[in-house]
Amino acid sequence: MPAAMVELGEDRPGDGAERNVIRVVVVDDDALVRSGLRLILRVVPDIEVVATVSGGEAVDEITRHRPDVVLLDIRMPDVDGLTILHRLRAMPNPPAVAMLTTFDADEYITTALRIGAAGFILKDTHPEHLPQLVRALAAGAVVLSPKVSRTVVDWRVENGTDAPGAIARLTDREREILVLVADGLSNTEIGTRMYLSGGTVKDHVSAILTKLKVTSRVQAALIAQRAGLLNQPEGKP
C-alpha cells in the first residue's frame, strides 16, 4: 500500500462516524482517466464520485458540490492544476486535494506541496489502493505514492531553519503529537490515543504549525522525518 503521512491540522469531514459517504470530484483533461477513476470508485459503498470534470470546469463544480476530496491532475492544457489548487486552498473549509501525476519526478510536486496539496498519487497506482487513499485523505491524512515520496522528502523547507532546530521549539507533548501525526493517525485518533479532546488536539496542532513556521501540514511531518524524530525509541521525545 502506498505510504501515508497524516496531515497536521483540522480533521477532514470524513473523520467522524456520522459522515457515511465520502464525496469526491475528479479533475483531469483526459476523459478516459476520469471515466476510469469513476469506475474504480463507484463500486465502493462509502465513496461517491459526485462529478468528473476537465480543468476549466473544476472550480465551479467543486464550489457547487463541496466534496470532501478532490483528485486533481497536476498538468492540464486548458488550466494548470496548480492554479486550481491555489484557488481551492483559498476556499473556506477547502477539500483535501491530491494531485494526480504521471511523473514521479514532476517538477510541479514541490510547488504543489508549498501551496498545500494533501497528497500526490501516480496515475499508475494499483486500482485496489485508490479507495484506501481516498479514505485516508478524507480522514485527514497526506498520501504519497512511494515513488513520489522520494521527490517530496528531498524538498527543503524555505524558512532557513534546520529541522532539528525547528523541532527543538516544540514541547514534549507537541513532539508526541507530531510523531502520531506522521505515523498516520487523524486528529480524532490522536485524541483517543492521548485521552485529549478534539479541540485540545487542534490547539496543539495550531501551535506546532506556528512554531515550525510552516503553512502546509505535510511540511511539518517532513520536518519531523528529516529531524529524526520518527526514528527515536517509543517514549523518547
Domains of the chain listed by start with CATH number: 3-153 (3.40.50.2300), 163-231 (1.10.10.10)
pTM: 0.70
Higher pLDDT: 235 or 9? It is 235
Partners of 98 in beta bridges: 71, 119
Does residue 8 carry a pLDDT above 50? no
- Could you count the other beta carbons within 10 Å of the beta carbon of residue 89? 16
pLDDT in tens, 171-221: 999 999 998 877 767 788 889 999 999 889 989 988 998 898 876 667 777
Q: What are the counts of helices (DSSP H) followed by strands (DSSP E) for the chain?
A: 11, 7
Higher pLDDT: 223 or 14? It is 223
What pLDDT, on the 0 to 100 scale, is given for residue 209? 85
Does residue 126 carry a pLDDT above 80? yes
- Cell numbers placing 31: 476523459
Instruction: Say if residues 187 and 230 touch (Cβ distance below 8 Å).
Output: no
